[in-house]
Structure 1
Amino acid sequence: MTKLKELIGMMKDKASQGKAAILSQRATLSLLRATSHDSFTPPTSKHLSTLLTVGDGSRATASAAMDLLMDRLQSTQSSAVALKCLIAVHYVLKRGSFIMRDQLPYSGGGRNYLNLSKFRDRSSPVCWELSSWVRWYAKHVEQLLWASRILGFFLGVEADQDSTQGCNLRLLGGSWMKAGEERASGLTNGELLRETEALLAVVEGIGGIPDAASMKGNKLVYEISSLVEDDGIVVLSEMLVRVNELSERFGFLSFGEMVELVYMFSRLEKCKEMVGAAEKQRLLLNLVREVKEKAEKMMFSEEGKTISTHRTTKSDMFEFPKLFINSVDLVRFSSARLL
């Protein structure tokens, strides 16, 4: 029964491709070839490159190509097709032209705007298991796009692309780390915390990747895992820059900012170890523990006074803020490097 359904899927692919070829619909043909019903193999580099080339032109052309891709993603009931569409979206993010990346879906920070959180493909045991990958991978792509909008540049863009905004690109006159530090030093404390929280959400999502043990030998799952591992390295690198900058500003953070920082660090410490990024994660966690320890000491001790952790009464609330007001709070600099 399973093989019959796979055969029907392949026949649908051939029929659709044949129709597109007859009608000279280049964009549709390249999309169909890149997003076939085969549940075990990912789209080839050739087909993905062709798809990216189709959208590499005017804004109208890029928009039309992305509309085709999103229509294919939203209308399919096949887990294999859905995963391949998501891979194509991921490739647009990493390797597409600036104009094509600008057409990527975005809903202002909302969740499930790809509308795949309830995706189920019951056509076979393999497709049923791949359905969990569709739901998780869609959430990851959503989170990656949302974080990119918060940062103001697309995460994971490869170094040979035409953008000059992201600190994950090689810039003339300096290394990636130097460029990242310079950008971070110009952000306010609030902006730094917001960007760090957005990156943390991506890290937490990656930690929830489905277990691939039962999908051993499935090249489609392997391709997705590989793409996400690359994202993990990039995101941890971006977080390392921001945590390092926050540690430089430590004496100029308000009490509320320190509370937010400690909360985010506690979440980060609970994240699972990322495959392919273990060393990067270890470096980040070491820095996090160091900064978190300092923040906790400052939160519970100000000018030699120990603050009780018991529930604050209404009368205490009037005296509580006074413990944290000092001359440093009156003037805050954007970065301790400027002092």
Structure 2
Amino acid sequence: MGRITNLRDLVGIIKDKASQSKAALLSKSSTQSRHLALLRATTHDPFTPPNPKHITTFLSCGHSSRATAATAIEALMDRLQTTRDAYVAIKCLITVHHIINHGSFILQDQLSIYPSTGGRNHLKLSNFRDDTTPLTWELSSWVRWYALYLEHLLSTSRVLGFFLCSTSRTVEKDNQEDKVSTYMNSDLQRELNSLVSLLEEYCKRPDILLLHGNCFVGEVIGLVDEDFLSSINEVSIRANEFKERLSCLGFDDSIELVCALKRLEDCKEKLMVLATRKRALIETLWGLIGELREKVGMEKIHKEKRRLLLRGSESARFGERVLSYADSVRFCSGRLQVNVVGFDG
């Protein structure tokens, strides 16, 4: 623990000691011991990120009953919603991210139902403000963005049918490509749109002004960057699949695909700044995106030409059956001219 710098830090430490002591007295049950682990993982300490040991203990709730997992998620969300401390809030969100990446299916399931069931959205922190110090004020912007990012991550995971960076996911890339190849065009487009939305939210990451070297921001960036790699991989799989089926895309499907690709291209500049160590990966993806956009455009031109040709041939066949007034005049005029020449001769 770092040096106590103000009265607020001292009050936070006293609160942590009191709540942990109370939980420790009741920790004979496994539920209470996990609640104690949550309190220890999400302290008011402004210098130390969540201890992996405490997070692991909390994640063990997912290896019990569904009721236990639901209680654990409810406790985490209540702590997130009731705190006005930026350090506690960011630690709660980091814990949520660890559930997404490392939690059991039961724990992930209990977490994912919150924003999707029409009830209260426990990740809605758009009004969160901690103006105690300039540091907590800037960290508050990260709390607001991180909560919204995790909302997008959960939403995208529901669309895809799996959590992007979950260690419980055993689907290999080849198997995922085979699975994607069986999708309807509309389902494939829906998944691509959701992944693009996640990347767009990734690009809205706040600037780091006073928080250079901050341990909390560093941990958040590390977790989000893992998601970024998985997102890029999933986008590539779907972009390659669209390449294979361009000839069978309808006009509306082609337009929607072009819009999604344009949104991706709009993210490139920001991604190159944020993911400096992954420039080669980004360049590879955008090479694929550019190639796909060009092929979609060429396919649209080809389809339009083919449509015009078919329309022309249908008009010709119809003309053979029913002559228009103009056609009859031209035809008669030509025959009349021949007859007149013959008469004069």
| TM-score after normalising by structure 2 | 0.81
Q: Report the Cα distance in structure 1 between the residues aligned to 2:7 and 2:123, rounded to whole angstroms.
A: 30
What amino acid sits opposite 1:296 in the alignment?
Answer: G
Q: Which residue of 1 aligns with 2:279?
A: 278
Q: Which residue of 1 aligns with 2:242?
A: 246
Q: Which residue of 1 aligns with 2:37?
A: 30
What amino acid sits opposite 1:210 in the alignment?
Answer: P
Q: Secondary structure at the match of 1:135?
A: helix
Q: Which residue of 1 aligns with 2:73?
A: 66
* 1:1-339 → structure 2 map (5 Å cutoff): 3-24=6-27, 25-105=32-112, 106-108=114-116, 114-158=123-167, 161=168, 163=169, 169=170, 171=171, 176-271=172-267, 272-273=270-271, 274-275=274-275, 276-300=277-301, 302=303, 304=305
Q: Is the 8 A contact 2:115 2:151 kept in 1?
A: no
Q: Is the 8 A contact 1:56 1:96 kept in 2?
A: no
Structure with the larger RCO, 1 or 2 (CA within 8 Å, 6+ apart)? 1
Q: Is the 8 A contact 2:61 2:107 kept in 1?
A: no
Distance 1:136 1:8, change over 3 A: same
Q: How many residues align?
A: 297
What amino acid sits opposite 1:133 in the alignment?
Answer: W
Query: Which runs of 5 or more structure 2 residues have no equivalent in the other structure?
Result: 313-345
Q: Report the Cα distance in structure 1 between the residues aligned to 2:279 and 2:55, rounded to whole angstroms.
A: 30
Deviation of 1:107 after TM superposition, in Å, equals: 2.7
Deviation of 1:112 after TM superposition, in Å, equals: 6.1
Q: Report the Cα distance in structure 2 between the residues aligned to 1:189 and 1:277, rounded to whole angstroms.
A: 30
Q: Is the 8 A contact 2:99 2:108 kept in 1?
A: yes
Distance 1:145 1:190, change over 3 A: same
Distance 1:209 1:109, change over 3 A: farther
| TM-score after normalising by structure 1 | 0.82
Distance 1:112 1:71, change over 3 A: closer
Deviations 1:102-157, CA, capped at 9 Å, x for gaps: 11143339896522011111121111111000010001100000000001111111
Q: Report the Cα distance in structure 2 between the residues aligned to 1:17 and 1:112, rounded to whole angstroms.
A: 27
Give the root-mean-square deviation of aligned CA atoms: 2.3
Query: Which runs of 5 or more structure 1 residues have no equivalent in the other structure?
Result: 164-168, 308-320, 324-339
Q: Report the Cα distance in structure 2 between the residues aligned to 1:196 and 1:179, rounded to whole angstroms.
A: 18
More helix by share: 2
What amino acid sits opposite 1:280 in the alignment?
Answer: L
Q: Report the Cα distance in structure 2 between the residues aligned to 1:115 and 1:150, rounded to whole angstroms.
A: 20
Q: Report the Cα distance in structure 2 between the residues aligned to 1:55 and 1:99, rounded to whole angstroms.
A: 6
Deviations 1:220-245, CA, capped at 9 Å, x for gaps: 11000000000000011011000000
Q: Report the Cα distance in structure 1 between the residues aligned to 2:36 and 2:249, rounded to whole angstroms.
A: 55
Q: Report the Cα distance in structure 2 between the residues aligned to 1:15 and 1:303, rounded to whole angstroms.
A: 73
Identity %: 44
Q: Secondary structure at the match of 1:277?
A: helix
